[in-house]
Amino acid sequence: MILVDLDGVSMSRPGRPLFRDVSVTISSGDRLAVVGINGTGKSTLLGVMAGSVEPESGTVRRGRGVTVAVADQDPVLAPGTVRHAVGGGWRGEAVLDRLGLGRELDTDVDHLSGGQYKRVALARALVADADLLILDEPTNHLDVDAIEWLEAELAAFGGGLVLVTHDRHVLDATCTRVLELDRGRAHLHEGGYAAYLEGRARRAEHEAAAEATRRNLARRELAWLRRGAPARTRKSRARVEAATALVEARPEAPARGEELDLARLHAGTPRLGDQVIELHAVAVGHDPSRPLVRDCDLALSRRERLGIVGENGSGKTTLLEVMARRRPPLAGEVVWGPTVRLGVHDQQGRELDPRSRVWQVIAGDAAEPSWWDKALLESFWFDADAQWAPVELLSGGERRRLQLVATLAARPNVLLLDEPTNDLDLDTLRALEDFLDDWPGALVVASHDRAFLERTVDDVVVLDGGRAGRWPGGHAAWLAERRRARRRRHLGDPAGGGGGPTRRSRRPAGTRRRSVSTIRHELGRVDAELGELARREAELTGALQAGGDHARLAELGRLLAEVAEARARLEERWLELSVELDERAGA
């Protein structure tokens, strides 16, 4: 079933076009990722697909009765509680719990943080049971558990999916086609992230070969014309002028120039001494009686490559603020070496003057940008024209990219990056990874982006239960051990609850008051089983619709009835646990 069809769609913004003549069809079961550097119009294209943005030209056709659910960058929620804004009954509450908002069900949406607000909007889209699901950077503000759960949820979704994401693992796990926006044009790649990279590389090679052929033909034409008699007709002179213009013409500029010598950019980084930043028995948090992290000992080396990971709310940002001396520790001591020159790229980013031009943000009070300023901007996809653009005309993603470049332009020798991948495009992420590869300083990154951490850090500090433990071997090694531990727990208890909680749940009501964490644990198990039953129910329903002999149809009907009965029992148990949790949390 065709959900939405775009034919020759074009959009622009003041000063330049975004994209032109985009044609793509989304049908049930399609998995489409939209990629391109910030400012190419990805979010605008999603708005056209969703029907919230009217195209300047072209045609948009929608299937009859098709429903669309959207989680965009600037969502608007209905007033009231989180529970009310999401809807969906037990499933809505389960999704909110999976996204780390189980304790916020009765919180008014006006009291949520920006990240919480976007997670509520994502939950609302996921429970809408729409034919077409459109998600713009859904992994922003999600921790690793929530991202892995989202991957599974999207894989099981039966409708059409359109996704903008910087998370390369999510892109590869969920999408089968990639629509690339590049310099106003759209290029469709069959396959995931690797297929997109291969297709773009082939296109670049073809463009270079075509340009070389064009220039050679033009030079031969011009040489032939100039060998003729001195007396030229008017028509011949016109041919000479046309051939000259062809030789001198420049092809369309690439989004970024040739590969730059990053070693020259790193040459001005101040030397860092043996002592960098040290934490001695440090506790961090907002309430001295309930620190988020306690007894943290950490000493950074001159070429440190350290990741900080943990669930949302575990204290990653607060720990970085203490390391940066933006916030005092609740206990302990923070020591800086005398040669530390700190650069911090946090989730808000530095304030930008909307009246400044891009190059002025980097060059400061200089009359014009230096070669170093220009090279740094070009390495992060601000070409010669973009460097003269006013800040007020930049997209949100372009501003975020400029904030990052401004941090690097200060030439720090210690970098603290807090969720640096949020709102950045894939090309900028690769540019940042390339920049950091041989950068001669110390790096600390708090992030949930698995691909970025795997590329940039050697060890991770895991924040869990108020403790900070260093895990050598990097993020991938920590995740692998984490999954092995989960499998061991699962094998030890076939019910999936680890033995203890399951036995307690079978006690007669009122014999023992269970902890909130125990109830949440069982709720999570029941939710996982409900999800599995829903997938099984969809498979059986599809098989019934496909038809077959009477015996097979009867067997499928019997199995479907058993699944429906089991699902009803689990839904009842989920509601009982929800009531128990509310009573226990309020006690």
What pLDDT shows up at residue 231? 46
What's the CATH superfamily of 2-67+130-196? P-loop containing nucleotide triphosphate hydrolases (3.40.50.300)
**pLDDT confidence tier of residue 506, bands split at 50, 70 and 90:** very low
What pLDDT shows up at residue 307? 94
AA identity, residue 151: E
**pLDDT tops 70 at residue 82:** yes
**pLDDT confidence tier of residue 569, bands split at 50, 70 and 90:** confident
Dig out the tokens for 424 from the structure: 């950045």
CA separation for the pair 286, 483 (Å, rounded) = 31
Spacing of C-alpha 370 from chain mean position: 33
**pLDDT tops 80 at residue 213:** no
Phi/psi of residue 503, nearest 5 degrees:
-65, -40
CB environment 340-372: b (16+ within 10 A), e (fewer): bebbbbbbebeebeeebbbbbbbbeeeeebeeb
**pLDDT tops 60 at residue 346:** yes
Beta bridge partner(s), residue 313: none
- Residue ranges of the domains in the chain? 2-67+130-196, 265-481, 500-585
Q: What is the SS3 string spanning 502-561? A: HHHHCCCCCCCCCCHHHHHHHHHHHHHHHHHHHHHHHHHHHHHHHCCCHHHHHHHHHHHH
What 320-324 contacts at long range (C-beta under 8 Å, 24+ apart), as own/partner pairs, is: 320/344, 320/346, 320/416, 320/418, 320/444, 320/446, 321/284, 322/279, 322/282, 322/284, 323/277, 323/279, 323/416, 323/444, 324/416
What does the pLDDT average to over 245-249? 56
What's the CATH superfamily of 265-481? P-loop containing nucleotide triphosphate hydrolases (3.40.50.300)
Q: Report the predicted TM-score, pTM, of the whole model to 2 decimal places.
A: 0.72
What does the pLDDT average to over 475-487? 77
**pLDDT confidence tier of residue 313, bands split at 50, 70 and 90:** confident
What does the pLDDT average to over 132-153? 91
CA separation for the pair 92, 69 (Å, rounded) = 14
CA separation for the pair 561, 569 (Å, rounded) = 12
From the list 86, 80, 90, 88, the residue with the least C-alpha distance to 581 is 90
Sign of the Cα pseudo-torsion (90, 95, 97, 103, in order): negative
User: Pick the residue with more confidence: 468 or 215?
Assistant: 468
